[in-house]
Amino acid sequence: MRALIISDVHSNLEALDAVLKLAPAHDTMWNLGDTVGYAANPNEVIERLSRLPGVSIRGNHDRACASQEEMDDFSPVADRAVQWTRQVLSRNYREWLQRLLPGPVPLQGRALSCVHGSPIDEDEYLVSDDDAAIALEATDARITFFGHTHKQVGFATDGDQLCVLEPLFSSDNEPDDYEVPLRSGLRYLLNPGSVGQPRDGDWRAAFAIYDEARSLFTWYRVPYDFLKTQDSIRRAGLPEFLAARLRQGR
């Protein structure tokens, strides 16, 4: 079994299309949430993803955009994007968002788990070693796939020591990949990065492939037409910051 793992698409149609076009062959898709928010094509993005076999879970932007819930922890820019998305979402796709499961969602019994933020709290950010250690204590899954931070990063532990995993790519502009062999006896937290709004200094769309048979996790980066995404954000009247940050990957 090979799974395409994506997260934080954030209504970026061009980035999603590049990922779906260039991703290696896979049997299923696991979408770790924040399908919408920020960029200007929420309906088109949901239309693509709703056709694909696999699992989609909700993120905090999905929950906010599909309801009238006040999100006190959202920045003014994020809140403006939520209000805009609420106005343009079709009824069918709003209902699709409302049906998304909150994480963690167990897969293959309880060996694997998918969550947007943390196994403890779907809105929590896993950033530091301490965050990871606490999260690993809270789950019995061998591998937890998470998103939310918009960064490709992983944590591994043998129960005593914890190490940080990060990809080392050979290119800044071309398609690239970085393999992480998954060792028996270790437990993992693995983040595929953000498809639609990377924040790790790399503008390219991020995703991952989990290969169960080979016990292999591979990070990928692929270029996309971010200029077209920027143009659609500006034409929609969304904050300029949301367009400008795409080229910076911040």
pLDDT of 88 reads 98
Residue 69 has pLDDT above 90, yes or no: no
Tens-digit pLDDT profile for residues 6-47: 999 999 999 999 999 999 999 999 999 999 999 999 999 999
Q: Cα separation of 221 and 76, whole Å?
A: 29
Rg value, the chain, Cα: 17
Domain residue spans in the chain?
Answer: 2-248
Tens-digit pLDDT profile for residues 84-106: 999 999 999 999 999 999 999 99
Instruction: Specify the length of the chain in residues.
Output: 250
pLDDT of 73 reads 82
Tens-digit pLDDT profile for residues 212-240: 999 999 999 999 999 999 999 999 999 99
Mean pLDDT (the chain, rounded)? 96
Tens-digit pLDDT profile for residues 127-165: 999 999 999 999 999 999 999 999 999 999 998 999 999
Q: pTM above 0.85? A: yes
Q: Are strands 205-211 and 162-165 parallel, antiparallel or unpaired?
A: unpaired
The architecture CATH gives domain 2-248: 4-Layer Sandwich (3.60)
Q: Cα separation of 143 and 246, whole Å?
A: 30
pLDDT of 68 reads 82
The CA–CA distances, whole Å, from 132 to 2, 57, 63, 198 equal 25, 20, 24, 20
